[in-house]
Structure 1
Amino acid sequence: MTNYHFRKAEISETSRIWTILQQAILRRKEDGSNQWQDGYPNPEVVQKDIEKGEGYVLVEGKSIIGYCAVLVNDEPEYEKIEGKWLTNDDFVVFHRVAIAEKYLGKGFAKMMIKYIEDFALKNNIVSVKADTNYDNIAMLKIFEKSGYTLCGEVHFRGSPRKAYEKVLPKAL
């Protein structure tokens, strides 16, 4: 049985994480998406995520196979939603989801989102919010399959993005 876990990233892992993100940036471009084609994210963004304790990795054994940033109540753009969130309480938000090239199409992004949902519940938070470009078909499908509700539109760096929320069942 392969051992997967989700943990905070370490500064020493920045270059491996950046390699995974570069693959994702190229995939977005090849898919015809405008997402991540403007110099963001970049190595400095990853380093700041990790320094703030917000960078997380999905690990198989000792290999990093995925990356994302996980924040609590920290997305100012979400206050300006064109639409309406399902809740107005504490929330977990995730950004910069990327899976290593050779692990694509095997459900690892969904696995990472499940770990993020578990993180929310462990912190007594039942709302998880996220957004993506209108043309990021892979992520839109993941949100749909993972039970996220389209709540409206938010804007980042001048681009409209679909904003999603999932209200988690409270832990027993």
Structure 2
Amino acid sequence: MKIRTTEERDLPAVMEILHQAQAYFKAQGIDQWQDGYPDEATIRQDIQNGTAYLVELDGIVAACATIAFTPDENYTTMVSGQWLTDRPYAVIHRIAVDDKLKGRGIAGWILEQAEHLCRQRGVESLKIDTHQDNTSMRRLLEKQNYHYCGVIQLHRDLSLRVAYEKRLDKK
């Protein structure tokens, strides 16, 4: 497996994976990504910002994620709970794995690669949020030693998300 930044030419493969994730959430009754988000414009913006990443496995696009090293406006205040730290952090959004490749540990590997990128930049905290009903992501985060911190409200649609943080300065 290899992680790299997403390029414009990767957009069709990334959108296919995101559409699979949207269909999965719908089938599972999870009200996440059911309003057309994330759309192509969102991913194009991530590409332009240099925050869109993908995983290649045997030459094919296997998964995608956004890893950003700038503050997320949605994380400024919490509806309930408290972040572990108030220091600079990275944020992970939009993790999705190709349906044909699920169960191979790719999402966990993405989280590990994000930690590696953080350590390279001296960033000691990673934050992520997900829908409360997305139990597979919540289990993964807990398995990877992310700590549940509370609830945030997304600015774009006012929906609530459960928020997690992992301190990278703790062994």
**TM-score, normalization by structure 2:** 0.95
- Compared CA separation, residues 170 and 151, structure 1 to 2 (3 A): closer
1:118 equivalent in structure 2: 116
How far does residue 168 in structure 1 lie from its aligned partner after superposition?
A: 1.0
Query: What does residue range 29-40 of structure 1 map to in structure 2 within 5 Å?
Result: 29-40=26-37
Query: Are 2:150 and 1:152 equivalent residues in the alignment?
Result: yes
CA contact (8 A) 1:121 1:170 kept: no
Amino acid in structure 2 at the alignment position of 1:103: L
Once residues 170 and 31 of structure 1 are traced to their aligned partners in structure 2, the CA distance between those partners, rounded to angstroms, is 35
- Segments of 4+ in structure 1 off by > 3 A? none
Distance 1:144 1:170, change over 3 A: closer
Q: Give the corresponding residue for 1:59.
A: 56
Work out whether residues 129 and 163 of structure 2, in 8 Å CA contact, stay in contact via their aligned partners in 1: yes
**Could you tell me how far 1:73 is from its partner in structure 2?**
2.6
RMSD: 1.2
- CA displacement, residues 42-79 of structure 1 (integer Å, 9 cap, x when unaligned): 11111111111110001113211000111113311101
Query: 2:12 aligns to what?
Result: 15
Determine the structure 2 residue equivalent to 1:73. Answer: 70
Q: How far apart, in 1, do the equivalents of 2:66 and 2:139 lie?
A: 20
Match of 1:162 in 2: 162
Separation (CA, whole Å) in 1 of partners of 2:136 and 2:128:
14
The answer as to whether partners of 2:64 and 2:96 remain within 8 angstroms in 1 is yes
Q: How many residues align?
A: 168
TM-score (norm 1): 0.94
Structure 1 CA distance for aligned equivalents of residues 111 and 19 of structure 2: 20
